[in-house]
Amino acid sequence: MSTEATTATAEKHIWELLDEVMDPEIPNVSLVELGVIDSVAISDGRVGIGMIPTFSGCPALDVMKSDIREKLTEAGYEAKVTVLRKPWSTDRMADSAREKMKTIGLAPPAKHGGNVEWEMFTKIPCPWCESMDTEITSPFGPTLCRAIYYCNSCQQPFERFKQL
Ligand SMILES: [Zn+2]
């Protein structure tokens, strides 16, 4: 195999490994699905990972970094994780991430294409029963990135991951 082919294979393998690293706050969604991993580059046998933090000041950031390093070290890669100063947006989330969030009762943010909705006046479908008869009970949930809603149809509270 040529060097380029070996590097391409290793990069693909690293993306697969990163897809096994779960978000510390959404246990069934990987960092790749969340759109947190921006780039993977290999040079001189070292792996460079570029990541974009979700919400600034998110305490999960350090956990993510050490989880990434741990995963790659286990697989025999020496990795350096660099936090990029690029803005993250919920539009970076994969559709699969949105579907998985619903299965744990977390209403996913809709794609906004740059037009972020004003939370208080937006009807959010219930992740459990898909009813639109829901209301916001608190704009700030357990973390800043989530709001708490109540579904009048199935009478269950749920959280919504805010748009960014
Ligand atoms: Zn419901």
pLDDT per position as a tens digit, 20-54 = 999 988 899 999 999 999 999 998 889 999 999 88
Domain span holding position 67: 3-88
Say if residue 71 is in the same domain as residue 107.
no
pLDDT at 45: 81
- Cα(25) to ligand 1 centroid in Å equals 22
Contact indicator for 39, 49 with CB cutoff of 8 Å: yes
- Count of structural domains within the chain: 2
pLDDT at residue 121 above 80? no
- Cα(27) to ligand 1 centroid in Å equals 22
pLDDT at residue 94 above 60? yes
- Cα(137) to ligand 1 centroid in Å equals 14
- Cα(9) to ligand 1 centroid in Å equals 45
Which of 47, 62, 88 lies at the terminal end of a domain, its last residue? 88
Percent of the chain with pLDDT over 90: 62
More reliable by pLDDT, 155 or 123: 155
pLDDT at residue 71 above 80? yes
pLDDT at residue 119 above 70? no
Alpha-carbon distance of 143 to 117, in angstroms, equals 19
Q: Which two tokens stand for residue 9?
A: 């294979």
Pick the closest to residue 8 from 49, 36, 50, 42 (CA basis). 42
Say if residue 149 is in the same domain as residue 113.
yes
Which of 88, 116, 132 lies at the terminal end of a domain, its last residue? 88
Say if residue 83 is in the same domain as residue 144.
no
Q: Which two tokens stand for residue 91?
A: 């539009």
Q: Determine, yes or no, domain membership for 95.
A: no
Which amino acid belongs to residue 115? Answer: N
pLDDT at 72: 96
- C-alpha 95 chain-centroid distance: 11
Contact indicator for 20, 30 with CB cutoff of 8 Å: yes
pLDDT at 58: 64
- Cα(16) to ligand 1 centroid in Å equals 35
Which of 88, 112, 135 lies at the terminal end of a domain, its last residue? 88
Say if residue 63 is in the same domain as residue 129.
no
Task: Please count the other Cβ atoms lying within 10 Å of the Cβ belonging to residue 142.
Answer: 10
pTM, entire model: 0.85
- Cα(157) to ligand 1 centroid in Å equals 8
Say if residue 35 is in the same domain as residue 110.
no
Say if residue 118 is in the same domain as residue 71.
no
pLDDT at 36: 94
Say if residue 135 is in the same domain as residue 81.
no
Give the per-residue SS3 of 73-132. HHCCCEEEEEECCCCCCHHHCCHHHHHHHHHCCEECCCCCCCCCCCHHHCCCCCCCCCCC
Strands 146-151 and 106-107: unpaired
Percent of the chain with pLDDT over 70: 93
pLDDT at 110: 86
pLDDT at 118: 67
Quote the mean pLDDT of the chain: 89
Say if residue 71 is in the same domain as residue 112.
no
Say if residue 79 is in the same domain as residue 154.
no
- Cα(66) to ligand 1 centroid in Å equals 37
Say if residue 83 is in the same domain as residue 111.
no
- Cα(31) to ligand 1 centroid in Å equals 28
Say if residue 56 is in the same domain as residue 109.
no
